Structure 1
């Protein structure tokens, strides 16, 4: 699996459709449609975007999306492309060879509220649409549950891949073996947990893509909650310690840069998990989460610009995404350029 900073052919997304995730009432639904649309329009300034759209939403998608966004019709229920869609890999031995890993998707552990059976077929659909090899996996996993450095290392979370609602018979060795078979990962680094909000009923149970990401094999960006009143103050320090110990045990000199959380601590539901780590690197740019805090958003842009030299950082309001359970990285999936 290439690094996300490698060149992309395009970014894949899925357009929202009516249901529990999108929200109740016209205002909530319109807010969701607008948020997904804003992310697509930000990305398409840098690289092509292909949007999978449910038949019930085709007219709305055509109305809201610019003509620069390619639309493909397919049945979906959930619309978090990172998690339900394929993970793309390349074959170094065959230049130009692209494949799509089709994980099993069960709605983040088959919670009572999730609608996922249609979207569970999207990984294979995308691979077959592109005419590339589809690599089947019996592991229940989501793209937001892994991060790679492009050089063989994968970050995992014990509460995701070893979640009994996902993989009741898995252990670390079996998961690591499957990561080697599917995405070519030769080294699995396990984190013990994710952010606090992610363990709520609508959470993913600890996705890594809201916690830490590689910008290169020698550099990690880490969510940093700086307010001791928030439970993630302790969590982010625990995860930093786990990463430091993992890299030290491997003799790797990896810089870990804290990406401070915004100042807001709570919303109407509880502790927020607002995280600037959940961004998307695109060709020549970075699509960053914004949270309506000018100073914090600007600080995050500066850190991201330094971490990704030569890329233009664009902020998109991600609060409507986080209200529904994720961020910009969660609703996108990069297709690497090959050949």
Structure 2
């Protein structure tokens, strides 16, 4: 069999998310906790306008989830500690020789390199709870990886970051050749494009050490949307310039050079904790729509909406306030995971 991860623009059966639960990531203030619950709930309701949503909920949060989520959102009770579904949840794949078969890649998850603050052992088991519910075959992998650490075009190309898959806290014995072989086996990627690093904030305490999904994405074959920090006062000005230059020298699996579209960052440079990594690249594509990150900046948010509408023609862009999500280490893409549609058996 040959597994393949479809493009995120391919038709979805549903989107999976995980409901927040109390812990380090959420914060220790009552206001912070309420802000976190509300942000995840807003994204779920935005996605539900376009396609079904299944929400994994820890037993300690069932009552709250039922109170906050609309009745149309399916609640799946499973033990959780972290709630970034993109990263520990299944990376769904299909088998083109068996069009009615769904696969679920179960990457090894160790909490983004097992930092001292991370609680991840419960969430690392979620794939094995979710896969049977949707009839997916589990594709086991010993590679420590997260769904936010890859982007694909569905036709053989994958974007990776050296500081993620080659992170010694994740895969101390890996090299590019081994990682690329595993990407081909699990998601059907035959052309790996390696970025040297990710955005600056992503290397701080709540960061992932360089996830690609806030740096670049592939909206259609041969095209890239790339985060562009245009202000030289921000350290990501140099980072995004280097990323673009590196991508200009690569081709996709079909041998095409890239049409690269810059997606400018918001004007805000800092928050209370330092330089922000606010990125419009970190959006979630849904059936007939796009759930975009907003940052409370009318001009920048509207500019990003226009770019996304052009990149995804025929899809309606819905913007949610992503600042509470980014304050906890990620964005809209990081808390969602698409399940591709397969033929009925």
Q: TM-score range by the shorter chain?
A: over 0.9
Q: What is the aligned partner in structure 2 of residue 50 from structure 1?
A: 54
Query: 5+ unaligned residues in a row in structure 1: which ranges?
Result: none
Matched, 1:140 2:144: yes
Distance 1:229 1:33 in 2: 33
Instruction: Calculate the TM-score normalised by the size of structure 1.
Output: 0.99
Distance 2:118 2:25 in 1: 8
Matched, 1:208 2:212: yes
After superposition, the C-alpha distances for 1:77-109 in whole angstroms (9 at most, x for unaligned) are: 000000010100000011111100000010000
Distance 2:128 2:243 in 1: 34
Q: What is the aligned partner in structure 2 of residue 158 from structure 1?
A: 162
Q: What is the aligned partner in structure 2 of residue 296 from structure 1?
A: 300
Q: How much does 1:196 deviate? A: 0.4
After superposition, the C-alpha distances for 1:289-317 in whole angstroms (9 at most, x for unaligned) are: 00000110000000000000000000000
Q: What is the aligned partner in structure 2 of residue 226 from structure 1?
A: 230
**More off after superposition, 238-247 vs 276-285:** 238-247
After superposition, the C-alpha distances for 1:112-167 in whole angstroms (9 at most, x for unaligned) are: 00000000001221112222210000000000000000100000000000000000
* Alpha carbons of structure 1 residues 62 and 255: separation in structure 2 relative to 1, 3 Å: same
* Equivalent position SS for 1:229: coil
Matched, 1:40 2:44: yes
Matched, 1:271 2:275: yes
Q: What is the aligned partner in structure 2 of residue 24 from structure 1?
A: 28
* Equivalent position SS for 2:307: helix
After superposition, the C-alpha distances for 1:193-230 in whole angstroms (9 at most, x for unaligned) are: 00000000110000000000000111110000000110
* Equivalent position SS for 2:140: strand
After superposition, the C-alpha distances for 1:165-206 in whole angstroms (9 at most, x for unaligned) are: 000000000000000000011111100000000000110000
Checking the alignment, whether the CA contact within 8 Å between 2:155 and 2:253 is kept in structure 1 is no
Distance 2:46 2:81 in 1: 24
Q: How much does 1:249 deviate? A: 11
After superposition, the C-alpha distances for 1:21-62 in whole angstroms (9 at most, x for unaligned) are: 011111100000000000000000000000000000000000
Q: What is the aligned partner in structure 2 of residue 72 from structure 1?
A: 76
Distance 1:187 1:119 in 2: 30
Checking the alignment, whether the CA contact within 8 Å between 2:191 and 2:252 is kept in structure 1 is no
Distance 1:209 1:47 in 2: 22
Q: What is the aligned partner in structure 2 of residue 127 from structure 1?
A: 131
* Equivalent position SS for 1:110: coil
**More off after superposition, 119-128 vs 13-22:** 119-128
- 1:104-123 to 2 correspondence within 5 Å? 104-123=108-127
Q: What is the aligned partner in structure 1 of residue 196 from structure 2?
A: 192
Distance 1:302 1:94 in 2: 38
Query: 5+ unaligned residues in a row in structure 2: which ranges?
Result: none
Q: Over the residues paired in the alignment, what is the CA RMSD in angstroms?
A: 1.1
Matched, 1:254 2:253: no
* Equivalent position SS for 2:319: strand
Distance 1:60 1:28 in 2: 16
Instruction: Calculate the TM-score normalised by the size of structure 2.
Output: 0.97
Structure 1 residue ranges (4+ consecutive) displaced by more than 4 angstroms after TM superposition:
248-251
